[in-house]
Structure 1
Amino acid sequence: MPSRETHDVVVVGGGAIGLLSAFNLALGGLRVAVLERRETGLESSWAGGGIVSPLYPWRYSPAVTALAHWSQQFYPNFAETLLGKTGIDPEVHATGLYWLDLEDEAEALNWAAREGRVLERVELARVAAAVPALGAGFTRAVHMPDVANVRNPRLLKALRAALLQMPNVSLHEHCAVTGFVREDKRVAGVRSASGDFYAQRVVLAAGAWSGELLREVGLELPVVPVKGQMILYKCAEGFLPAMVLAKGRYAIPRRDGHILIGSTLEHAEFDKTPTDEALASLKASAIELLPALAAAEVVGHWAGLRPGSPEGIPFIGPVPGYEGLWLNCGHYRNGLVLAPASCRLLADLLLGCETIVDPAPYAPAGRLAPF
């Protein structure tokens, strides 16, 4: 059983947010334990598509935009760093992204002009030349050339391997947290099936399950599970040279020819069961985007649970009135997009460093209520 004061920080959750939080805190010299109820990286971080951009970035608040921009610049070099450390390539693949038949195209272009982002209208003939497999039923397109996607399962494997190399990190899988160790008003650790883990600070990064855990200390965190289903095809390499998005559905190419199609948006509590209805809907979207997929076999179909939050703005920082308890959760549909900036911001705050962005919009203070 772990002994008292073994760790400077206990991180609850082994997804992208939890692993990268631990990585940054360990780089800052802290002794970190990561607790994950299953194996690391098997929940929403694994299940998502890995586009390194919000699907419609102009529809989000400046708080989300600030984290997304920082992360987009960070990912390519970070992938190279992880590859060098672990031999595992997260495959940050800069393909660009075409949005088709946008209802709010003018707003998108205005947003790009304000933010200094490259986003332009393009003729359909140009899109057809760039993406020969694209369906013929579209009338308008805008293009952002520098958008990348990351192969999220490989990113998680690389993060896990990097953490295992760090002498000041311990990773505890199949270690479900059941509650918090309280000493007066201070959170002094967590309780788990493997015993109590004590720490100076506890970081709750449990994705869609964060709200359930925070209720244990009498707080209502507005983070709820939002189910998303995806399907996967295997095509020839180069079949889809760029990401395409229409009517809320997207196609993402991997370097080896796998094509991801996603995703649904469902409120089904913690039920992750893939459904025939979603499969049919996703296949219809796939064929509308890329008609040749009608003859292709679906080689994967799964569901994940996003940590839904108001406006998609994550909770990052200390919990007022609960000394020692910190949050990094509630990233909704943009966990992988926002992870580098969110986890750097958390580390900046916890280590007392100058922050990369203004932390105020993400602070838990004023955003939680008694349960």
Structure 2
Amino acid sequence: MTFFDLMRRNAWRKRLRSVLLMFSVGIAFLIYGLTASFVSGSQGAAGASDNLLGVFNKSGRGLPLPFAYLNRIAADGDVAAVVYTARMRGFVEVAKNVVVVSAVDPSAIAAANGKELGLTPELIAALEEGGDRVLVGRALAEAQGWSVGQRIGVTSQVMKEDGSRDWTFVIAGIFEGADASTDTYFMLARYDTINAARARDKDTVDAFVVRPREGVSSGLLAARIDALFANSAAQTRTQSEKQFLEAFLRQFADVGLIVSLVVGAAFVTILMIAVNTMLFAVRERRFEIGVMKVLGFSGGRIIALILGETLFIFAVGGVGGLFLAKLATLSIGPAFGLVFSAEVLLKSVAIIAGLGLLTGLLPAFSAMRLPIVNAFRSR
């Protein structure tokens, strides 16, 4: 029997106890995987850009900016591309089924943000075919069960000139996004069509998206753009995509702190349970530990044996919990902004190793320091 076989057999000595402990570890890492994926997706750790800039109204993101700002921003030599967007919120069929329509210029969005959204020339051409055409993100299309060529109706907060709030579109294509972390839970429409039909805020936009030229500091360019409109009626605040997402979430709560507290509580609880369980398991095997010492097992090998058992239990339970978290992000991730990134996986592996070693230290040193005479007296 190899050392690994001995460690594995000891870990499975009490199968029900081992399974329950692994289950507890799995639940803890399922919680961690989901919460960490939420932070990774919602705060832009995995997909948000530090270089792509958003120009918003300084007084509030919901307030409009004049369309005329476009030419002044584009005139800056450090701007590679700029596109405007007017967001229109609404719902499909029932009020709870909320969707967002971003009205843009097709060619401009392709130049400024086409790579991140996965906008191919074919998709842009399809959007330009008619004023009622829209491109739908993959996440939104799957959630709604939509397909290319389907006619959809959106009841919006934006009123049309005829007094109606009902907007009708035809799905011209579905864009995928550059990777799994890209937000595709919205649709793209033509700005000229939306602007001509709406009753209020004509010739205004909600934001400008700016791509700096290669080698240009996004922070310096953001400051220069804001300086252009410092004395205007509608001053601007320019932020990177990542900065905006983090600031937006902080308006509601410190998500990182909340996640840390929840996960910390789960891990402290499981640590206490696991340490107590392993101490009890070592007490049950006092006689066997004494026999191993008589046979020549050194203190270091006994420590390695106990630590190996705890690592085995945490590895099996942790991998199971992370696997379930990964499945959850694949199924509901696009709708809820969950991104199970490589960073989340690496942190999880490190936590599994750290908790496994920490849990086994006290039982391992207890077994190492056990006198042989005392061990034999336990029989």
Which protein shows a greater Rg? 2
Q: Larger helix proportion, structure 1 or 2?
A: 2
Please indicate, yes or no, whether the TM-score normalized by the shorter chain is above 0.5. Answer: no
Q: Larger strand proportion, structure 1 or 2?
A: 1
Higher normalized contact order (CA 8 Å, seq sep 6+, divided by chain length): 2
TM-score scaled to structure 2, two decimals?
A: 0.24
TM-score scaled to structure 1, two decimals?
A: 0.24
